[in-house]
Chain A
Amino acid sequence: MIRSLLWKDTREHLPTLLTLCVGGIGLMIGVGALMGFEPGNTPMRTGQATGLCILLLAPGIALLLGSLFLGSDKENGVSAWLDSLPEPFWKIWLARNVFAMLSQLALVGAWGVFWLLVYAPKENLVEPVTVVFLLVVSLMGTGWGQWGVHRSRTVFGGFGNGLLGLIAAGLSILVMDMFLAFLVDMLAKTFRAERALSVAMGNFYLISGLAVSIVLPLFWVFIEISRQFGIPKVTQNSIVKAALRLFWLSGQGQSRPLLIMTAIGLVLGFMLPESFLVWPIWSLSIGVVSGLCVLAKDQNGPGQLHGSMRAFRPFLLDLRAIPAFLLGLVVNIVPILPLGIAATYRGIIYQGPDQQVLEIFWPGIGQYIPVASYICLWFCAGFGTALWCSFFLENSVVAFVVSWGMGALVSLVWIPALVGGGLSLLWVLGLVAVYWGLGRYLYRGFVSQYLSTAGPTSFGLMVVCVGLFCGFGILSRLYPARGQAEDPFSLDEISQAIKNENPKLEDEVRRHLVDNRRGIGPNAQFQFLPESTETLLNIPVSGWPEKVIRYLKEVAPKNSGELAGEWKVPDELFTFFGANQADRVVSEPLVWLYQSQNFNMQMQSRGISALWEVSRGTKGSEEKFANEIERILYLGECLRHKSHEPDFNNGDLLERFAYQMIDYHLMHNKPTEAGLAALAGVLKKAGARIKKVKPMTREIGFWISRKSNQNKSIWRKIYSSGPHIAEKPWIAAYWQMVDLALSAPWEMERSRKLINYWFSSNPPTDRFGSQEQYDYDLDLIPFWHLNTWNSKRPNKFLSIEQRSQVIETINDLAKTAIALKRFRVTKGSWPKALNELSPAYLKEVPKDSYSQADFGFRIFEAVQPLKVAPDKSGSDRHAGAGEGYSAPGMAVAGMPPGASAGMGGFADSLQVPDSGQMEIPLVPGTLILWSIGPDKKEPGALRSNGPGGSRYSGMVFVIAP
């Protein structure tokens, strides 16, 4: 018996399991890419983990639902025969349930293993625990579903019983989320009540959404139970009839409840981006539809249409396949084809896939396009061909292999697209290939009643496609400012330009795209160099520096020598940054950024992410990271313009800074009115005119007046983003900037309370009743680990305007530092004064905004021992890295801080008795450039404030000889 049942169930379910397995992993990859996961030991926020958990669970639930809707129907009718076989009833069902559970075990196990191997952070046990949890839930749901189907031998019976599993799964999700939100967050000392509330509410809506589609069947279950307990039949019948009628009217058989749920999920998910609804419902919707598709194929058995499905045929709206087919064409081809044509007509050459074109119309969509396309193709190609093959090949295994092979082939349309041109045509060809299968469905459907299955399936596919496209579109419209300044030229203007052939406007569009958007110079060759970037991307981060060096020296010049030839960056940069290891690890991404010649936000994000990878975990890494990010951003600006003098006058950096600050702030901190007011202050500094601030809806509307184009003002409305956006690595680049706003006094109060909460010896008090008091005793508050920016900033809180000034000063310092390096490379020595840099290396040498004079700079001459005085406790425990100087109130002239804050600093000579010694990590000849800082009394960029010791200004650049 076991042999027979295993054989049969394997034959029937193996394609389904394999498909779901591959699909689940594919989803993980896609969503991982979308959410910015990096393979390997990547820190994963709880929100990410939860989202992925639910994503994993969704196909399981879909399988359950599919088995309820379709699997039950499949077994219906055969039960009589199985029951008449000479084995006890319970043995047969037990064996089948065991198999079902084992199948689910294998399925979820495969996902879990993939997840653990690829994504799960090794130091965090939350995810493995969650995997196990998912396993149990899935087993429960599937087991109950299978049992219900077979035991009751009816669709409704199975549905009712399976619902128990579904409800259990839903409740389990809730419990799991609460567990993660409350317990993990609290333990991780990042407890925020609103976060937990958001989780709870999100799941409330999630379960409510599910209830919408299952409430009526639940009603039926209630009736069934009431029947068992002897409720009068008259009542039973009337209620049953009413329930069934309602269910029928609302569902019309199989597919409408799922479609309704999908639609609700998509709508709710995108209407409430702050909530956890986005990923759960979206993934659940995709999972349900895909599960339905797979099971619909399975329902047919390998190569045949189940007879009982025909019984449903009149109610399945056979003709759905026609609008589904047309809708598919419209949704997929219509938006893409004209974009491609328009782009070609406009002479905009692809640097990559279509996102470069789409971004013109949907700013910010670029980061989603690859994933969206990936998922779309995966589903369309995979499931479309699976259905087709299952029907025509009459062999599920072959169907599986061929279908996924076909899916992979169709996905190849992106390869030529990557090297430019022809994308639209290939896209259309790919879609034709995909929909050819559905077209055949149409033909066969009218002949053989096959549409009863193909209709809902293809319609479901279309819902997924529509949802994906619309979803990404909505997302991009909601959050257009993530690192991609909105193009000031509207779609209408571009269209009008095309129509009128207005060369002036066209040139203007081109100039703007080239100069401000695309990261390439006005005369640059529009050429995508996959070898010089993609190859680098594939190099493991852990071994990057050596490999990058070898690659850039041996390989890259052959591929991109022409582009790199203008300034022989690689060797010089190696020399430049190879002075000490501390700089080196954070400088390699810079080399890569330059070499890529394709600097944009995505590339930048990879570099920053890699930077974080190589620098994190080391002592002082946060500070180092934050410090170097500024330089990279600045150099990115330089490289984008193929110039080392970025035109900051047009306000690009500040504008972007403002956008990012708002974005990040809104995403992470659920801003209060005070927070928004702080942001408004920054925006004003950036040249914006505030229109309105709506704290309750977390909106801020403002006009950006671009200095370079005063007549162009943009109305911007920025909404809050979901946590999935916040996880984008490049957002972290702006963390320090955002901390400026966060450290506004009114925000600081919250931070103080949090800190006091963690360090319960200081319970929250109201002693910080006035703004002036915030400056009090700052060093006693261990704020540095929370706010890296403040750790290297003056130990008092500055106004928004002052913080903006800090940013500008650092940028000016960076610009000067680059010019100094170029001078050094060219002349072989450092300049005597900064004005020697102009005009060859700088059009105008920037002044220190704090002194209105040149920045301070000097040459580090020799290695000297650093001696640190004892602090007020009398001990000498702060001589090591990561701690400030311990001389209270002692201004040490001529001792600038190190390039890497927290490394203990360095000095040419410093004699402080009774101190330890340490090696200075700089080589002789290093140039040190600094600003005197906000307090304007720091000749060596060293500040000494407060009772807790000294702090560096952080506005120091160390340039290797």
Chain B
Amino acid sequence: MSNAIEITNLRKSYKGKLALDSVDLAVPAGSVCALLGANGAGKSTLMKILAGLQQPDSGSASLLGLDPWKGASELRLQVAYVAEKPKFYDWMTVANTGWFASGFYPPGFEANFQKVCQRLKLDSSVKLSALSKGGYAKVALALALAMGPKVLLLDEPTSGLDLFTRRDFLSGMVDLAGEGKTVLISSHNLAEVERVASQIVFIEGGRVILNQSMDDLKRRLVRLRQRGEPAFNISSVGKILRQGKDGPWSEWIVLRHETAEINADHGFEPIGLEEMYEVLLGAQEEAVV
């Protein structure tokens, strides 16, 4: 499978402060890649560089084989970017916005936009100024989806959406991936991303601290919980990221070696994405990883 996104040793700083530090990343085409990290971790900067809105200081980035900065014009017909805080002309109605944007895209955009609006249950006659935060986000998504992109760059796209819309939206991402489209999505909502992402990238302090497919991650980052000491040497299986005791119960969260297979005999079980994130951040702070 070819990579839709390839990033090598990417660096970006703002006024001397490092926002991205030697980032390497590859996102296969047709995958849903979740970019996870705390506020200020560098997710949005990475998104903007990929969207061609910012130029990296050094390193290289490739989107569908093109440099996102130099090939921005070409890429923008294939890559949709939804900003973290999308801002449009508030005096326009939803339909106005779609009509306005259609002037920049090939024919069919406006029809697609209307369909997406219907799917997202957006009233196209309402002014943007009258929309809720979630409604505003829906407009941004509708604009992104209406162009039929090969790559979707979604910076916190579900922020403000209600529960059911979020679910619809995320399942839509899976459908897009099924159509061979690549989705790079940043989010704080780990539980939701967990359900749709095929690749997880943890980013912290401008650095990628973990980049794994969801399957690999579930295979490697596991929990062992049992009474007393285990019958085997846990360290030989992988790195212990967290260890605790709860009454008679002992618990280990282990980052197993990459080659390790899940061995049910060992009693390992997969953990949730949120817990993974929490453990990895803790490990990052302790320089365990």
Q: Interface of A with B (CB < 8 Å)?
A: 1-5, 7-8, 11-12, 77-78, 80-81, 83-89, 233, 301-304, 306-307, 394
Contact = CB atoms under 8 A, between A and B. Distances in A.
A4 B102 contact: yes
B214 to A, nearest CB: 28
A790 to B, nearest CB: 68
B83 A81 contact: yes
Contacts of A301: 89-91, 129
B249 interface: no
Interface in B71-122: 72-73, 76-77, 81, 83, 85-92, 99-105
Interface in B136-169: 147
Contact of A303 (B53, B73, B102, B129): B129
Nearest to B80: A84
Given A4-B102, A81-B83, 5 more contacts: A12-B89, A77-B87, A80-B83, A84-B76, A302-B91
* Max chain A C-beta neighbours (<10 A), residue from B83, B85, B87, B99: B87
A4 B110 CA distance: 13
Contact of A86 (B53, B73, B89): B73
B242 interface: no
B188 interface: no
Contacts of A84: 51-53, 76, 81, 83
Contacts of B51: 84
Closest 8 CB pairs of A and B: A4-B103, A301-B91, A86-B76, A77-B87, A304-B129, A85-B104, A86-B77, A4-B100
A87 B105 CA distance: 9
A80 B87 contact: yes
A833 to B, nearest CB: 87
B218 interface: no
A302 B89 CA distance: 11
B127 interface: yes
B90 A306 contact: yes
Contacts of B88: 78, 81
Interface residues of B, number: 28
B92 to A, nearest CB: 8
A307 B52 CA distance: 26
Contacts of A394: 127
B185 to A, nearest CB: 16
A89 B92 CA distance: 22
B90 A304 contact: yes
Contacts of B87: 77-78, 80-81, 307
A80 B129 contact: no
Contacts of B77: 86
Contacts of A7: 100
B89 A8 contact: yes
B129 to A, nearest CB: 4
Contacts of B53: 80, 83-84
A89 B88 CA distance: 17
A83 B77 CA distance: 13
18 contacts: A4-B104, A8-B100, A12-B89, A12-B91, A77-B85, A80-B87, A81-B88, A84-B81, A85-B76, A85-B101, A85-B104, A86-B73, A86-B105, A87-B76, A87-B104, A301-B90, A301-B91, A303-B127
A14 B92 CA distance: 15
Contacts of B103: 1-5
A80 B143 CA distance: 14
A8 B83 CA distance: 21
Contacts of B104: 1, 4, 85-87
Nearest to B87: A77
Nearest to B84: A80
Nearest to A82: B104
Contacts of B89: 8, 12, 78, 301
A597 to B, nearest CB: 57
B73 A87 contact: yes
Nearest to A5: B103
Nearest to B100: A4
Contact of B91 (A2, A86, A89, A303): A303
A8 B77 CA distance: 22
Contacts of B90: 301, 304, 306-307
A490 B185 CA distance: 81
Contacts of B73: 86-88
B91 A11 contact: yes
A238 to B, nearest CB: 14
A89 B52 CA distance: 11
B66 to A, nearest CB: 13
A306 B86 CA distance: 14
Nearest to B102: A4
Contacts of A8: 89, 92, 100
A259 B76 CA distance: 44
A83 B72 CA distance: 10
Nearest to A303: B91
Contacts of A233: 16
Interface string B34-66: 000000000000000001110000000000000
A87 B16 CA distance: 31
Nearest to B53: A83
A179 to B, nearest CB: 42
Nearest to A394: B127
A93 to B, nearest CB: 14
A304 B77 CA distance: 32
Nearest to A233: B16
A81 B86 contact: yes
A605 B16 CA distance: 72
A80 B76 CA distance: 13
A89 B73 CA distance: 8
Contacts of B105: 86
Nearest to A91: B73
Nearest to B77: A86
Nearest to A84: B81
A294 to B, nearest CB: 16
B91 A4 contact: no
A11 B89 CA distance: 11
Nearest to A88: B73
A4 B101 contact: yes
Nearest to B75: A86
A3 B102 CA distance: 10
Contacts of A85: 76, 101, 104
A304 B76 CA distance: 31
Contacts of B76: 84-87
A1 B73 CA distance: 14
Nearest to A306: B90
A3 B92 CA distance: 15
A83 B83 CA distance: 11
A302 to B, nearest CB: 5
B45 to A, nearest CB: 13
A565 B235 CA distance: 125
